[in-house]
Chains A and B, each alone.
Chain A
Amino acid sequence: MNRSTRCRLAVLWAVLLSTACSQNPPPQAATPADSAALRARADSIARAERARADSLAAARRDSIARADAPMERSRADSVRAQIQENGGSAPPATASGLDAAAEAVLFETVLFDYDRADVRPDQAAKLAAKLAILRANPRLEVRIEGHCDERGPDEYNLALGNRRAAAVKRWFVEHGIPESRLTIVSYGEERPADPASTEDAFARNRRAEFRVTRAAR
């Protein structure tokens, strides 16, 4: 009997034993090999349960920590103040501090395929050009806006636009730009670049746009 067959038998025995446990009084003490298998099985279950509990707890801490972070508290206060107004929405524009040529490169929109959020190979060159500007201007901070065409559920499109903006941000972060310089926002299908209901308009509307939130100088 080789080692793996022995292992399998031990596991089988452990399963039979545990089934028996649920129906009968506690059985005789198991042999050392059996109890090791039982322990290993119990350990792996406990580990899995711990991991799940940890990930849930971490998720909860994550959501609550954001509200508690002192540096974010002023922003929370600001949002609470803003909702007392009626209908104000357009974020203020910040002067970029870039020359016109660099601005044109930075503000060029990046396009996406239908219902996709991954960066298209034919759009990567646009991101590379923006990357050079971000590297050359370390003070510059940018907001990435994700947009969708009008097809698909309105609310789902907000989530999709968020994934598009996040994909662009991830691309920059993977290329060495600090996360703190990039924020994301999704407008779903709420702010089309072209209001027409044509394939051309849809293609133009599936996009990421770029806004300066902190000037280069």
Chain B
Amino acid sequence: MRVGSREPGVGNRPRAPAVAALGALVLTALAGTARGQDTTAHSGVRIGITYAPGTRPSLAVMRTTSAAGLDSVRAILERDLDHSDRFEVLWRPSAGDVVDSAAIARVVRGGAAQVLTLVGDSGGVARVTVMDVRSGQSLHRARIPLADVTGRAFRLRVHALADDIVREVVGQAGAAASALLYVQGGRLWQVDADGHGVRALPAAGSPALSPAWAPDGRRIAYTAFVRSGQPIVVQDLVSGARTVVPTTEYGLNITPSFAPDGRRLAFAHGTEAGTDIYVWEGGTGVSRLTVGRFADNLSPAWSPDGARIAFVSTRARSPQLYVMNADGTDQEVLARFDFGATGTTSSPAWSPDGALVAFHREVGGVPQVFVLDVAGRGVRQVTGAGRNEDPTWAPDGRHLAFVSTRDGRRDLWVADLETGRLRRLTSVGGARLPAWSPRFTLTAERE
């Protein structure tokens, strides 16, 4: 994965006229490679367009009939496919209009779009067809019942379809069918990955901090400030059931992190002798991983194979990034630092493919998001404008959400590490401590 060390500036992505020009350019450049080339991805999925970094297929999403709710499907798909950053989405002034077969034929003949997503309907069901324009081959077909088109379940179904389309066309799924937790005003909030559906979650205490997802996308863990303590609470988002992690009824309990197995949970427990990382093994079993002795050890982040844990420690006075085995052995520095010179380093997040760890580090007293290559230990700065903190990975492994003050207030932003494109996710002010969910498993019915 290519990681830009430059600032991914807002709006540095070519828009309408430039896109058209680029589309034509890409078309010429890809004339030999994009056309109906069959490629087999790792999962055995046959795909029709070869994806190469920097040369993205152009794509249009068009509505062919006028049934109620159909434009919702078209608009959500178009935005999700755009947010995947895998395509040059052709924005048309008449995007909401119904196109006829002559218009489609013009697009096909003119070669403006390489991938065409057509949204039509029959009998209360949206029918979505994805075509490789050059070969005329159908890449994907799906149907979604047009019921309760403003409801969450409906939106989620369309997001999941968008992820399927990305996978069918480029070989790796998108991250549209996911959501982020964050803290604002001491409460827990959830927002869909496209910025819609902001809602408050009932929490066990106020403030509620450091929300974390379980791999099942159904349970979350967080620190709850209750009257007589700061326990780690595990909460089921569907049933609402809550439990306290054993031993967290006492002292300071912060930064919970579910292991990839969904069973173990690491957290930091603070006493008068400092803060250390513990792992709850399920049941009543809690074991200690660090022995800080008046130092702080916190913010555990599991590697996706569950074998390693990145964490923050003040063992060398300033908070820096370390890594250890999941049983607490082999503790070592993860992100190199100059003693006394490198700024406070915090909030590690391990990428879904295990290759990278995102974190933030103060540069001249201002936190910026960095990405570390775990194998080579090289570090690259991802942000530069404003204060940027607390990165969290999208399930597609190429997008990062983080807190940024680049627009004046603390809000959540999403950066695509490959193109450097940036989008704003929330506009609430005071948003912090985001956690991106795994991809929700709710799939559109396939034809």
Cα distance A155–B270 when bound, in Å?
12
Interface pair B347/A66, CB less than 8 Å apart? no
Interface pair A83/B242, CB less than 8 Å apart? yes
Interface pair B250/A75, CB less than 8 Å apart? yes
Which residues in window 141-182 of A have CB below 8 A to B?
151-156, 158-160, 162-163, 166, 169-170
Interface window among B281-289, B350-358, B419-427? B281-289
Interface window among A1-9, A26-34, A89-97, A129-137? A89-97
Interface pair B252/A162, CB less than 8 Å apart? yes
Cα distance A63–B247 when bound, in Å?
6
For A92, list chain B residues within 8 Å (CB): 227
Question: Interface digits, A52-94 against B, CB 8 Å rule (1 contact, 0 not)?
Answer: 0001100110111011000010011011101111111111100
Asked if A186 is an interface residue, CB under 8 A from chain B, the answer is yes
For A78, list chain B residues within 8 Å (CB): 228
Interface window among B72-80, B162-170, B291-299? B291-299
Minimum C-beta distance from A184 to chain B (A): 6
Asked if A185 is an interface residue, CB under 8 A from chain B, the answer is yes
For B127, list chain A residues within 8 Å (CB): none
Asked if A190 is an interface residue, CB under 8 A from chain B, the answer is yes
For B187, list chain A residues within 8 Å (CB): 87
Minimum C-beta distance from B98 to chain A (A): 47
For A90, list chain B residues within 8 Å (CB): 227
Interface pair B226/A89, CB less than 8 Å apart? yes
Interface pair B249/A76, CB less than 8 Å apart? yes
Minimum C-beta distance from A101 to chain B (A): 29
**A86 with B210: in contact, given A91-B228, A153-B389 (CB under 8 Å)?**
no
Interface pair B254/A153, CB less than 8 Å apart? no
The interface centre, meaning the residue of A75, A83, A185 with most chain B CB atoms within 10 A of its CB, is A83
Asked if B384 is an interface residue, CB under 8 A from chain A, the answer is no
Cα distance A64–B246 when bound, in Å?
9
Which among B203, B206, B254, B273 is the interface contact of A158 at CB below 8 angstroms? Answer: B254
Sampled A-B contacts (28; CB under 8 Å)? A60-B287, A60-B288, A62-B288, A63-B278, A64-B286, A76-B249, A79-B226, A79-B229, A83-B205, A83-B226, A87-B187, A87-B203, A87-B204, A88-B226, A89-B225, A152-B344, A153-B347, A153-B390, A155-B210, A155-B255, A155-B433, A156-B346, A166-B271, A169-B272, A184-B272, A186-B230, A186-B270, A190-B209
Question: Which residues of B pack against A, CB within 8 Å?
Answer: 186-187, 202-210, 223-231, 233, 242, 244, 246-247, 249-252, 254-255, 268-276, 278, 284, 286-288, 291, 294, 296, 298-299, 312, 314, 319, 328, 344, 346-347, 360, 365, 367, 389-390, 432-433
